[in-house]
Chains A and B, each alone.
Chain A
Amino acid sequence: MATVIFASGMRALTGGAESVEIEAARVADLISALYALFPALAGKLEQVSVAIDGTLYNDARYQKLRPSSEVHFLAPLAGG
């Protein structure tokens, strides 16, 4: 089960949950499950960067997850 860690700013949308464990093969599946679990999150994880086990992805939709994966959702990254 992948573990999703919510930054404190996101916890207003997760009913205060700081983390959640979810069975998901890929990030897209994980996001769908999060939307089902926390309806207030719906649509808010489409344009974010995702950190999986410390590696940041700007587009992680189809990245695979391991059962031990730790996932963070972050503001989109780019630069100047």
Chain B
Amino acid sequence: MSNKMSGEQGERKFKVVGTRPIRHDGLDKVTGRANYGADLALPGMIHGVILRSPHAHARIKKIDLSKALAMPGVKAAVTGADFPEIGSGGMPAGESHIDPKDLQANILARGKVLYHGHAVAAIAAATIEQAREACKMIAVDYEVLEPVMSLERALAKDAPILHEGRKAVGVPPLPEGDTNIMMRLANAKGDVDAGFKSADVVVEGWYEASMAHQGYIEPHATVVTTRENGQADVWCSTQGQFAVKSMLSVTLQIDPNLIRVTPSEIGGGFGGKTTIYLEPIALLLSRKSGRPVKLVMTREEVFRATGPTSGTRIWAKLGAKKDGTFVAADTRMEFEAGGFAGSPMGAATMTVFASYNFPSFRLEGLDIVLNKPKVAAYRAPGAPNAAYAIESAIDELAQKLGMDPIELRLKNAVKEGDTASYGPKFDRIGFIECLNAAKNHPHYKAPLGKNQGRGVGAGFWFNVGLQSSATVSINDDGSAVVRTGNPDIGGSRASMAITAAEELGIPVERVRPLVGDTDSVGYCDLTGGSRVTYATGMAVIEASKLVIEHLRARAATIWGCEVDAVEWRDGQAVGTNGASNNKPLSLADIAKQMGHTGGPIIASASVNPPAAGPGFGVHICDIEVDPETGRSTVVRYTVVQDAGKAVHPSYVEGQLQGGAAQGIGWALWEEYLFDKNGKMENPGFLDYRMPVASDLPMLDTVVIEVPNPLHPYGVRGVGETPIVPPLATVGNALSRAIGVRMHRLPMTPPRVLDAIETKKG
């Protein structure tokens, strides 16, 4: 790993940041002691089961719960009618804002079901078996409607309309009357038509990607208990306990002061756990039954009824001069939103051209509803789909121009001071450094074998800041506790502990990192947007600095000098200016005397920093294709990414590998398959083919460190960028291996074989 730093941050010599301690939560996780969402059991707890729609599109005419309620052990039942009436509006939910009325209707259908598996009613009974049996006795009368299962059908003039009476919003021209287009966005710069006229080479084509699931290992789970005074305690697997609290408050119209949410350990989220499904249902069932209620999804429910990411159809056209200079770009991006508005199309419109300087461009994005699960955030939402189209087109341009694909990117890549396609100027960024590192990597120069192809792709993600809090307290033995409100998904406990240890000057093993519930820590926005190490880390730095102020004051009390005469150096109070005769006091020395010098030492801080500094990555993939079967094997893969400053390099490398692995799966194997009635045909890991360790080679990583000027250490978020390049990178490798440009993901063996056969004629 490179460890080059420059600039103000680079002059700082770190003692703990950049090391690789064993994660604090590691032992519990590898021994099975860690408590995940489904692990909690409370006295008197009962179990809930959800009845889900057998139709992808239908009107609910009547729901009869009477027979179900009469079944043995049944304590309560709920339907969408149990939710209070609320108005439309906007509230943050992962990548985008969501209409709380839609959120309600996605949790339990009201009036219509909009995808197969849409929740219709729920039962709570003494045992899970009793709840399942009772669920079968719920009678629902449906008027079945034609399911809309493709973007083509959704956009057809005679398409069934999912949301009658709802108008498209966004940038004109907007469709008139009822439509499945929920939003249209557009942007442009310069004279695009003149740009293409001036081009020596033009490429264009449609690029399709399938709806894909995050595939987190832990299904959604919750336990909720309510009290007579209206108080509700919620335990759940989530990326943000405060977001759950807020969404519960809005959807159920409960005073937020009455809701306490405790996050369990989380077995993956990747954006999919930034919204809610089970929690309001469990709360309503608990209220009705007076018992704690547990709800746990099956894997099948996770696939059918949580939020995968959008399938997309993206048309891209690029023009360049003979020397490779880009002159024009044009794109139309159609995003599946699922049953309710809100795909990541907006982010795609901002990222699609962000990595390069285009003198002229035009783009259009459409958010389109259809009878598939409502999408949720998934790692850099929208950006992988957009990059798939643009980075594939760039590869085709390189081939037509006879240029090296990295040289072509270097010629057009954005750098500090360039204006991003979405508006503002870039500050310090590391795209050029990543491209050069990829170009000079041994992988890029290694010879290819028979039936092998090498692809390159790049990716960009904004990374965000948002609100974070942290509390640092000192124990009487001189150890420290750091509390934050971000569920630890990717090793954030370790990075928070490293940060506190760096500031306080103590070993990282002397810091215990905790994740608190909504009543015990200050507000934190959710764990997402690659923001925790950056933003919550800044709150930890600030809180640690406040603790140091206390420590200096306590040392001054002990020495009987002014606090100005005490400096904090390397974890010790050191006397200066008249106090220099005193023997330095370690944190442990001061902690021992806390009771004599003013009591416990504790400090909290909160931040709302700007967006976290853009992340860029460049990937290289070698793929081998069996021309007889169309089977593709990734034989070598390298991820290069700018991390700003890697606080715990192992977890940065893990993020790079994880994002790449998910992207490779999306490119080669993963897709939602629906039958003609809109029923997902592969709702399990045997048939929804995610990559496992044996499918992939070791994914090499190169961590570039171009410091982020917005962070004291130079940190940039790293969690999302690595999933942006792989779709195109793998596609480019495969297209070069077989000599045919692939335009549809996943590139399954039948599709590859078909492309090879078509080429043969």
B347 with A75: CB separation less than 8 A: yes
Given contacts A70-B424, A78-B95, A79-B530, 7 further A-B contacts (CB under 8 A): A51-B424, A57-B611, A72-B424, A75-B185, A78-B528, A78-B529, A80-B529
A8 with B186: CB separation less than 8 A: yes
Pick the contact of B270 from A8, A58, A59, A80 — CB < 8 Å? A80
Interface of B is mostly: loop
B424 with A80: CB separation less than 8 A: no
B423 with A79: CB separation less than 8 A: no
Pick the contact of A9 from B186, B269, B426 — CB < 8 Å? B186
**Which chain B residues border A55 with CB–CB below 8 Å?**
424, 427, 610-611, 710
In the complex, per-residue mask of B155-186: 1 if CB is within 8 Å of any chain A CB, else 0: 00000000000000011100000000000011
B270 with A75: CB separation less than 8 A: no
Q: Is A47 an interface residue (CB 8 A)?
A: yes
Pick the contact of B96 from A57, A70, A78 — CB < 8 Å? A78
Given the contacts A49-B611, A56-B611, A58-B611, A79 and B380 also touching, CB distance less than 8 Å:
yes
Q: Which A residue sits closest to B93, measured CB to CB?
A: A78
- CB B487 to nearest CB in A, in angstroms, measures 14
A9-B423 Cα distance, complex, nearest whole Å: 12
Q: Is A15 an interface residue (CB 8 A)?
A: no
In the complex, per-residue mask of B449-484: 1 if CB is within 8 Å of any chain A CB, else 0: 000000000000111111000000000000000000
**Which chain B residues border A80 with CB–CB below 8 Å?**
94-95, 214, 269-272, 274, 376-381, 528-529, 720
A74 with B466: CB separation less than 8 A: no
Chain A: residues with Cβ within 8 Å of the partner, total of: 25
Given the contacts A7-B187, A57-B610, A75 and B350 also touching, CB distance less than 8 Å:
yes
Q: Is B554 an interface residue (CB 8 A)?
A: no
B96 with A72: CB separation less than 8 A: no
Given the contacts A57-B611, A78-B529, A80-B274, A5 and B423 also touching, CB distance less than 8 Å:
yes
A30-B103 Cα distance, complex, nearest whole Å: 33
Q: Which B residue sits closest to A10, measured CB to CB?
A: B171
**Which chain A residues border B422 with CB–CB below 8 Å?**
7, 72, 74
**Which chain A residues border B42 with CB–CB below 8 Å?**
none
Q: List 15 A-B contacts (CB under 8 A).
A: A5-B423, A7-B187, A8-B186, A8-B187, A55-B427, A58-B466, A75-B185, A76-B97, A79-B95, A79-B377, A79-B381, A79-B462, A79-B531, A79-B720, A80-B380
Q: Is B263 an interface residue (CB 8 A)?
A: no
**Which chain A residues border B381 with CB–CB below 8 Å?**
79-80
- CB B448 to nearest CB in A, in angstroms, measures 34
**Which chain B residues border A8 with CB–CB below 8 Å?**
186-189
A69-B580 Cα distance, complex, nearest whole Å: 48
**Which chain B residues border A47 with CB–CB below 8 Å?**
90, 97
B96 with A76: CB separation less than 8 A: yes
A77 with B97: CB separation less than 8 A: no
A54-B172 Cα distance, complex, nearest whole Å: 27
**Which chain A residues border B530 with CB–CB below 8 Å?**
79
Pick the contact of A78 from B94, B172, B423 — CB < 8 Å? B94
A42-B172 Cα distance, complex, nearest whole Å: 16
Given the contacts A8-B186, A49-B611, A72-B423, A79 and B171 also touching, CB distance less than 8 Å:
no
A78 with B92: CB separation less than 8 A: yes
A7-B270 Cα distance, complex, nearest whole Å: 30
- CB B92 to nearest CB in A, in angstroms, measures 7
B425 with A54: CB separation less than 8 A: yes
A79 with B461: CB separation less than 8 A: yes
Pick the contact of B187 from A9, A54, A59 — CB < 8 Å? A9
A8-B464 Cα distance, complex, nearest whole Å: 24
